[in-house]
């Protein structure tokens, strides 16, 4: 699909109709489509940005309104209409929103070589669990022990607030998956990809979109871009697009058992950072499934930039992709966020997190499963945050939950699913002691049950306030920490659920109106 001013104008006009009806998100979506189709240096880019600024003004998102006015001006917005934009800009300047920073920060000193994890975390290995992570310090409920940014992630189709195939690509950043309240800029070449910032755009262009752009329609046929192929493109780019260098390094490391603990990530996000992350990714454990490589062969053997490279290195490239599929099969992680919904045009405090894509995360991939985990994973701004949800004693292993928690499903059903997907028999505390599911749990402390009920009722009211939410998190943390011996009682499990829901709220609350 080629850029087309004609189409760009039609989409903008459709956006204007939604704007008139005050259906702001639908209007933004149409303006995004208009931006994607606008031809390079055409006035249509400026018009779509200007119209988007009007929507953000009505939505009271004043920073976004101002930045869209600036985009319109820098894309040659016609002089004769500038006055309207200038007036809108003046009105915005008195009403700037307070934008909150990310809420979650590491609770302990960071590891010197791996600054995104706590220094108490160590890698261990044994025959039962394979590689796993332990802590050499006691950890308390609420402690944030790691905040990992994916090596790369790909959006999934369910993540869009409007699930119409023609509109799927205008709702999230193709690099970090943020919706950024639809404040996205188009790829300058194709009509199907948008980014939330210049950083994301430059990163994508440099490391993979240059290879995805010419075949984007084909890649998006199934709705989502393939992770294994994207990792191949990034790997090749890290090695200066030189297949021989790439091949040498991959072959040298193919049987290594290295992890992020073998590398240094202390320098800012430079090339070595990405290279080290890549090397720890390709050494992760793999499933034994055999994936069909025909779709990859079809794409690469006709790729406008990589056809010759592929034909000369067919066996190596297909083997690399097979291994990446197998690694992804065991180590994919859902990336979650709330999704925009037509009803929350004015609120930034969104409630539910849903899966918006998959990410490859070399640290998270070292954490084993338990049906009664001691950490929970939530996402904030595309990063995966690990929060302690039950006290962890010095020397103990960190456990996350891959599938269903014991509260949701019976032991038999959990174990069957885990065995089918990951080929291990779960021997966690909940499985060993056959803990009851939520419905069958008993109450152990009537006073705490009262507190749990009250907290639960308060959860029904939308608290668009970080301080209040944060105070409630504190209450939950203290109860869960102090009463851990009673776990799993009905009241503690309710409080644990509230604690998780409040943490999600804190991760989503970004704008104060
Ligand atoms: C994401 S990896 C975790 C790291 C892994 N232990 C390793 O050595 O690379 C997932 C794999 O770890 C193993 N695993 C995870 N949880 C486990 C558990 N509770 N008991 C035994 N093996 C487990 C399974 O082989 C699973 O496919």
CA distances from 505 to 130, 405, 454, 464 (A): 35, 21, 18, 9
- Whether 418 lines ligand 1, by a CB cut-off of 6 Å, is no
- Predicted complex ipTM: 0.99
pLDDT class of 461 with cuts at 50, 70, 90: low
Helix (H, G, I), strand (E, B) or coil at 512: strand
Mutation to probe ligand 1, out of 121, 124, 129 (largest number of atoms < 8 A from CB): 129
For residue 150, give the nearest of 357, 330, 324 by alpha carbon: 357
Residue 312 CB-density burial (10 A; 0-12 exposed, 13-18 middle, 19+ buried): exposed
Strands 399-400 and 368-369: parallel
Beta strand pairing status for 185-186 and 152-155?
unpaired
Q: Compute the Cα dihedral for 391, 397, 403, 405 and give only its sign.
A: negative
Residue ending a domain, choose from 301, 318, 335: 335
Please indicate, yes or no, if residue 415 is contained in any of the structural domains. no
On whether both 74 and 191 belong to a single domain, the answer is: no
Is 420 a domain residue?
no
Cβ of residue 289 lying under 6 Å from some atom of ligand 1: no
What separation in Å is there between the alpha carbon of 364 and the centre of ligand 1? 11
Single residue among 310, 335, 360 that ends a domain in this structure: 335
Contacts of 311 by beta carbon, 8 Å cutoff, 6+ apart: 301
Is residue 215 a part of any domain in this protein? yes
> Does residue 356 fall inside a structural domain?
no
Residue ending a domain, among 335, 369, 399, is 335
Where residue 346 falls among pLDDT bands split at 50, 70, 90? very low
Other CB atoms within 10 A of residue 241 CB = 15
Mutation choice for ligand 1 from 133, 368, 398, CB with most ligand atoms inside 8 A: 368
The residue whose CA is least distant from atom 4 of ligand 1 is 366
Q: Whose CA is nearest to atom 27 of ligand 1?
A: 422
Residue with tokens 């800012």: 268
pLDDT at 355 over 60: yes
* Cβ density class 78-94: b for 16+ within 10 Å, e for less: eeeeeeebeebbeebee
Nearest CA to ligand 1 atom 15: 368
Domain, as residue range, for 91: 5-96
pLDDT in tens, 388-435: 999 999 999 999 999 899 999 999 999 999 999 998 999 999 999 999
Closest ligand 1 atom to Cα of 364:
1
Specify if 383 maps to a domain. Answer: no
The pLDDT of 200-226, averaged and rounded, is: 88
Residue 277 lies in a domain: yes
Together in a domain, 87 and 176: no
CB 418 within 8 A of CB 369: yes
Which CATH number is 90's domain given? 1.25.40.10
Q: Is there a single domain that holds both residue 245 and residue 325?
A: yes
Q: Give yes or no: residues 86 and 159 share one domain.
A: no
Taking the centre of ligand 1 as the mean of its atom positions, its distance from the CA of residue 390, in whole angstroms, is 20
Residue whose Cα lies nearest atom 22 of ligand 1: it is 129
Does residue 285 line the site of ligand 1, with CB under 6 A? yes
Looking from the CA of residue 131, the nearest atom of ligand 1 is 8
Q: Encode pLDDT of 367-396 as tens digits.
A: 999 999 999 999 998 899 999 999 999 999
Supply the pLDDT for residue 509: 77
pLDDT digits (tens, 9 = 90+) for 466-506: 888 899 999 999 999 999 999 999 999 999 999 999 998 88
Is the C-beta atom of 424 inside 6 A of ligand 1?
A: yes
Q: Is the dihedral of CA 198, 203, 206, 208 positive or negative?
A: negative
| Residues 301 and 159 grouped into a single domain | yes
CA angle 216/335/253 to nearest 5° reads 75
For 40-81, the DSSP string reads: TT-HHHHHHHHHHHHHHHHTT-HHHHHHHHHHHHHTT--GGG
Query: Is the pLDDT higher at 301 or at 169?
Result: 301
| Alpha carbons 477 and 55: distance in angstroms, whole number | 40
Whether 385 maps to a domain, the answer reads no
Residues 185, 315 within the same domain = yes
Long-range contacts of 76-82 (CB under 8 A, 24+ apart): 76/41, 76/43, 76/46, 77/43, 77/46, 77/47, 77/49, 77/50, 78/43, 78/46, 81/50
Ligand 1 geometric centre to CA of 128 (Å): 9
> Please, which pLDDT band fits residue 342 given cuts at 50, 70 and 90?
low
| 328 CA to centre of ligand 1 in angstroms | 13
- Domain tally for the chain? 3
**Is the shortest distance between the CB of 426 and ligand 1 below 6 Å?**
yes
């Amino acid at each position: 699909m080629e850029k087309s001013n004609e189409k760009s104008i039609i989409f903008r006009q459709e956006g204007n109709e939604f704007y008139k009806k005050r259906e702001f998100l639908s209007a933004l979506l149409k303006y995004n489509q208009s931006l994607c189709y606008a031809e390079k240096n055409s006035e249509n880019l400026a018009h779509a940005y200007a119209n988007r600024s009007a929507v953000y003004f009505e939505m009271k998102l004043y920073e976004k309104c101002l930045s869209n006015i600036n985009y319109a001006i820098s894309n040659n917005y016609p002089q004769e209409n500038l006055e309207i934009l200038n007036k809108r800009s003046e009105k915005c300047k008195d009403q700037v929103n307070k934008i909150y920073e990310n809420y979650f920060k590491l609770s302990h000193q960071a590891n010197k070589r791996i600054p995104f994890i706590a220094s108490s975390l160590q890698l261990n290995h044994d025959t039962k669990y394979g590689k796993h992570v332990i802590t050499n310090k006691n950890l308390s409920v609420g402690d944030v022990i790691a905040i990992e940014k994916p090596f790369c992630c790909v959006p999934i189709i369910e993540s869009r607030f409007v699930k119409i195939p023609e509109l799927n690509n205008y709702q999230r950043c193709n690099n970090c998956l943020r919706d950024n309240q639809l404040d996205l800029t188009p790829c300058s070449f194709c009509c199907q990809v948008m980014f939330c910032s210049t950083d994301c755009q430059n990163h994508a262009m440099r490391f993979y979109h240059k290879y995805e752009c010419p075949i984007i329609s084909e890649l998006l046929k199934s709705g989502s871009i393939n992770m294994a192929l994207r990792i191949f493109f990034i790997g090749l780019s890290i090695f200066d697009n030189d297949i021989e260098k790439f091949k040498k390094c991959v072959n040298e490391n193919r049987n290594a058992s290295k992890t992020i603990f073998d590398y240094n990530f202390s320098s800012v996000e430079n090339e070595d950072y990405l290279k080290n992350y890549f090397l720890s990714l390709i050494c992760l454990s793999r499933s034994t499934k055999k994936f069909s490589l025909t779709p990859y062969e079809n794409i690469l053997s006709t790729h406008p930039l990589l056809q010759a490279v592929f034909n000369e290195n067919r066996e190596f490239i297909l083997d690399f992709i097979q291994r990446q599929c197998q690694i992804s099969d065991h180590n994919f992680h859902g990336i979650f966020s709330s999704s925009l919904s037509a009803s929350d045009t004015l609120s930034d405090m969104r409630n539910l997190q849903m899966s918006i894509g998959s990410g490859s995360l070399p640290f998270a991939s070292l954490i084993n499963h338990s049906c009664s985990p001691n950490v929970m994973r939530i996402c904030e701004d595309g990063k995966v945050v690990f929060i302690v949800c039950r006290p962890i004693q010095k020397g103990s292993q960190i456990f996350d939950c891959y599938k269903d928690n014991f509260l949701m499903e019976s032991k038999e059903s959990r174990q069957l699913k885990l065995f089918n997907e990951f080929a291990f028999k779960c021997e966690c505390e909940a499985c060993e002691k056959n803990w009851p599911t939520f419905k069958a749990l008993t109450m152990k402390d009537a006073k705490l049950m009262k507190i749990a009920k009250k907290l639960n009722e308060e959860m029904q009211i939308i608290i668009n306030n970080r301080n209040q939410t944060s105070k409630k998190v504190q209450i939950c943390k203290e109860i869960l920490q102090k009463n851990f011996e009673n776990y799993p009682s009905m009241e503690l499990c309710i409080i644990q659920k509230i604690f998780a829901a409040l943490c999600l709220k804190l991760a989503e609350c970004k704008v104060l109106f």
